[in-house]
Amino acid sequence: MNRSFGQSLSHFFAGHIKGGVLKPLPSDIIISLIFGPCMELTRQYFSGHSGTPLDKAAGILSEAVWRALSTDRG
């Protein structure tokens, strides 16, 4: 299942890289940029160390990930 999911993501990313929407980064880096922050926030949340409300954290993290991946400079 993980292999199939990874291949689907790689294909998805490749199309958006080719279309100029995403920076031309390796898929393992893209996946790390997307899932790493989410996994760390989840770890902190369930260990009781996260003070940021989840809806606010989701907005902050999604914006940061988009800035890291997007070719849009605006």
Question: Which residue, 70, 74, 69, is CA-closest to 29?
Answer: 69
- With respect to residue 74, please indicate whether it lies within any of the assigned structural domains: no
For helices 54-69 and 27-46, angle between their N-to-C axes, nearest 10 degrees = 160
- With respect to residue 40, please indicate whether it lies within any of the assigned structural domains: yes
State the amino acid at position 33 in one-letter form. L
- Record the pTM: 0.81
- With respect to residue 23, please indicate whether it lies within any of the assigned structural domains: yes
pLDDT for 74: 59
Question: What are the tens digits of pLDDT across the range 18-68?
Answer: 999 999 999 889 999 999 999 999 999 999 999 999 999 999 999 999 999
Domain assignment of residue 55, given as a range: 2-69
